[in-house]
Amino acid sequence: MADTALTSRPRSPLSRVADRLAAATRASRGLIRLAELPFLTQLDVRVDAKGAAADAIGLALGLPLPLEPDTVARAGELTALWLGPDEWLLVGPPGRERELENRIREAAGAEPVSVTDVSAQRTTVLVAGGGARDLLAHGCSLDLHPRVFGSGRCAQTTLGRTQVVLVAREEPGSGFWVLVRSSFAGYLADWLLDAATEYV
Structure confidence by residue, pLDDT tens digits, 11-51: 999 999 999 999 999 999 989 999 999 999 999 999 999 99
- Helix %, strand %, coil % of the chain (to 5): 30, 30, 40
Residue of higher predicted confidence among 200 and 139: 139
What is the length of the chain? 200
CA atoms within 13 A on the CB side of 105: 11
SS3 101: helix
Average pLDDT, the chain: 95
Q: Where do you find CATH 3.30.1360.120 in the chain?
A: 15-38+120-195
Contact 65, 83 (CB under 8 A): no
Q: pLDDT class for 6, splitting at 50, 70, 90?
A: low
For residue 149, the model assigns a pLDDT of 96
Q: Look at the domain 41-117 and name its fold.
A: Alpha-Beta Plaits (3.30.70)
CATH 3.30.70.1520 domain range(s) in the chain: 41-117
Question: pLDDT tens across 102-150, in order?
Answer: 999 999 999 999 999 999 999 999 999 999 999 999 999 999 999 999 9
Please write the tens of the pLDDT for every residue from 25-35.
999 998 999 99
Phi, psi torsion values for 154, nearest 5 degrees: -145, 160
Count of alpha carbons within 13 angstroms of residue 122, beta-carbon side: 21
Q: Is 44 exposed, middle or buried (0-12, 13-18, 19+ CB in 10 A)?
A: middle
In 3-state terms, what secondary structure has residue 159? Answer: strand
Helical (H) or strand (E) element with 186: helix 185-195
Q: pTM of whole model > 0.85?
A: yes
> CA torsion 134→136→137→139, rounded to 10°?
140
178/180 Cα distance (integer angstroms): 6
CATH topology of domain 15-38+120-195: Gyrase A; domain 2 (3.30.1360)
